[in-house]
Homo-oligomer: A and B are copies of this chain.
Amino acid sequence: MSTEHTARTSTRVPVGHSASVPGINESVLFAGCPEVIGTPFSYAREEEVYGEGEEAEFVYKVISGAVRTHKVLSDGRRQITGFHLPGDLFGFEQGACNRHTAEALTNTKVLIFKRRQVERAATGSAEVACQLWGMATNDLRHAQDHMLLLGRRSAAERVATFLMEVDERLGGTGTFALPMTRRDIADFLGLTIETVSRTLSQLEEGGALRRVGGRQVILRRARLRRVVED
């Protein structure tokens, strides 16, 4: 069961508005929508970006690092609903209130956009609104794929699927360092850390991957694919 997540009481909140950074460093959220510009902001490892229940004031784009969003039950059981890597947007899911907590996995740089501004841009431009619709639809697709994984796949299938997905999002080289702990993986896959660990060991035994000290993995993708088999 999930236990012992760092307790945090307050969310650090950006103030002021730095100038937009033109040129190669693109800080606009939508092409042709210069009024919605992002403010650079940083979070430290394990720092909370926003908390469940708080007013949803901002939306975010990851520049570097990684963020997780999760839900918790009152007894501490936790389900991570997504990992957000550079280029990803998050914080769009909610209405007036955040329905997740978001935390930085590592030191993370983001661009912050005011929700209000994004909404105003959407009501003013069908094109922007359609992009937002498309993004939500995309998130929905991921969520539904993940439902199938959580509801119907075995531990080995979950872990193998997860590794292939992370690989793809990190460049698809087959060699990478997992940016999250076993607890995060477990809480994403609906397993315990022990089961994740054991499953990784079994996959290694079966020649589907090699581990180098905890986080680093080298995937044998053809064999991993055979584990998932679909």
Q: Which residues does A use to contact B, with CB under 8 Å?
A: 2, 71, 73-74, 77-79, 81, 92-95, 99-100, 122-130, 132-133, 136-137, 139-141, 143-148, 150-153, 187, 189-190, 229-230
Contact = CB atoms under 8 A, between A and B. Distances in A.
A46 to B, nearest CB: 21
Contact of A144 (B78, B99, B153, B190): B99
A144 B230 contact: no
A152 B78 contact: yes
Contacts of A73: 148, 152-153, 230
Contact of A152 (B77, B128, B129): B77
Contacts of A144: 71, 81, 93, 99-100, 143
Contact of A137 (B95, B150, B229): B95
- Of residues A2, A132, A133, which shows the largest number of chain B Cβ atoms within 10 Å of its Cβ? A133
Contact of A143 (B95, B130, B140, B230): B140
Q: Say what secondary structure dominates the interface of chain A.
A: helix
B148 A147 contact: no
Nearest to A157: B73
Nearest to A129: B129
A140 B142 CA distance: 10
B150 A190 contact: yes
A145 B139 CA distance: 14
Contacts of A94: 137, 141
Contacts of A152: 2, 73, 77-79, 190
Contact of A92 (B81, B92, B137): B137
A129 B152 CA distance: 34
A111 to B, nearest CB: 20
Contacts of A143: 140, 143-144, 147
